[in-house]
Amino acid sequence: MRFLFVSLFIFGCLPFTVRASAAQQAAGRLSTEQRDIGRLETRIQRYDQALGVVTQLRRPLGDETECNGICFFPSSSHPVAWRCAPNDSCNLHCDVNPPVGGCH
């Protein structure tokens, strides 16, 4: 019975692993692009008392970069959404209360 559960888990997770390998990953960042939607980049940031995940979407004909982030604290999490100029990168600041997003 235990073998059955382990097998189901391994084969159930295999398709997600294969799809994730199609995306590009470098220096702690994960990025992928789809012609009609745009380029999506995701990165994880570490803080003393939090973990942060920030995503940025640059649309093909967009005038701005869409940014979304979430800060995970020991007992809670806080989502943040903001926009940046087309050539700016999204920054997430989980070391302030409340967490904020920024551009650079």
The model's pLDDT over 49-87, given as tens digits with 9 standing for 90+, comes to 999 999 999 999 888 999 999 999 999 999 999 999 998
Check residue 15 and give its pLDDT.
43
Arithmetic mean of pLDDT, 25-40: 85
Query: How does DSSP classify residue 59?
Result: -
The kind and range of the H/E element at 30 are strand 29-34
Check residue 24 and give its pLDDT.
53
State pTM to two decimals.
0.72
d(CA 14, CA 52): 26
Arithmetic mean of pLDDT, 16-36: 65
Lowest-pLDDT choice from 10-19, 30-39, 48-57, 67-76: 10-19
Per the listing, tokens 């390998």 go with 21
Question: What share of residues in the chain are helix, strand, coil (percent, to 5)?
Answer: 20, 50, 35
Check residue 28 and give its pLDDT.
72
